[in-house]
Structure formats: structure tokens, C-alpha cells
Structure 1
Amino acid sequence: MPFANYKLPEGLLDHARKEEIIHRTTEMFVEYFGEAVRPFTMVLVEEVADGGWGRADETLTLEKMGFPSKHA
């Protein structure tokens, strides 16, 4: 079963954009593996609280990544 797990900062995407990610990811798997995988494809879009993740020993926030803060 194809599976994709996206982890994105909380509040970055609205419902429509999340749906688009799910549809486009499913289509990618179908193009690669064939139509038979469509009913078994799982796409998980998870939101991570701002500041709840890091890279290269640094906590990341929307502000640090150049996005407007949702608390501003």
C-alpha cells in the first residue's frame, strides 16, 4: 500500500490545499504503480505546532522560515 506522510507547520495550509496535496499525491502513486493502487493509497497531512520541529539543531518557526506568524 503506497503511503505518504507530510508534516507541515500548523496553519500554513487551508483545507483546499490539503485536499490538493492528497489528490496530487494519489495521482503520482497511480501514475507510478498503476490504477490498482488507488483504493489502497494513504496520504496523511499532519500539522506540527509552530516551533515544534527543527533542523540542523535549530528550532524552526514560521517566522524563521519567512512566513507571517499566525499570532502577529
Structure 2
Amino acid sequence: MPFANYKFPEGILDHARKEEIIHRTTDLFVEYFGEEVRPYTMVLVEEVNDGGWGRADETLTLEKMGMAPPVS
């Protein structure tokens, strides 16, 4: 079963963007493996609290990446 797991800072994606990511990822797997994988493809879009993730031994925040925090 093809599987993709995306992690994004919390609040930067709306429902429509998440849906687009799911559809486009599914289409990518279908293009690569064939139409028969569509019903078995799983795409997980997770939101991570700001500061709850890191790279290269550094905790990342939206501020450090030069991004504005989401508007509530």
C-alpha cells in the first residue's frame, strides 16, 4: 500500500489545501504504480505544534523560518 506522511506547522493549511495535497499525492502514486493502487493509497497530513519539530539539531518555529504565525 503506498503511504505518504506530511507534517506541517499547525494552522498554515486550510481544509482545501489539505485536500489538494491528498489528491495530488494519490495521483502521483497512481502515475508511478498504476491505477490499481488508488483504493489502497493512504495520505496522512499532520499538523505539528509550533516549535514541536526540528532539523539539523535545531528546534524550528515559524518565526525562525520567517513565517507569520497563523491568524486565529
TM above 0.5, yes or no, is yes
Task: Quote the offset at 1:56 in angstroms.
Answer: 1.3
The one-letter code sitting in structure 2 at the alignment partner of 1:33 is: F
Q: C-alpha root-mean-square deviation of aligned residues, in Å?
A: 1.0
Mapped partners of 2:30, 2:38: distance in 1? 6
* One-letter amino acid of the structure 2 residue matched with residue 47 of structure 1: E
Identity of aligned residues (%): 83
Show structure 2 runs of 5+ residues with no match.
none
Unaligned runs of 5+ in 1: none
Whether 1:7 and 2:7 are equivalent positions in the alignment is yes
Distance 1:53 1:68 in 2: 17
Residue 61 of structure 2: aligned partner: 61
Q: CA deviation at 1:14?
A: 0.5
Could you list the per-position Cα deviations for residues 23-46 of structure 1 after superposition, in whole angstroms to 9, with x for gaps in the alignment?
000000000000000000000000
- Give the whole-Å Cα distance in 1 for the aligned partners of 2:31 and 2:4: 15
Kindly indicate whether residue 19 of structure 2 is the aligned counterpart of residue 19 of structure 1: yes
* 1:29 match: secondary structure: helix
What letter corresponds to residue 46 of structure 2 in structure 1? E
Matches within 5 A, 1:35-46: 35-46=35-46
* SS of residue in 1 equivalent to 2:67: coil
* TM-score, length basis structure 2: 0.94
Structure 2 counterpart of 1:48, one-letter code: V
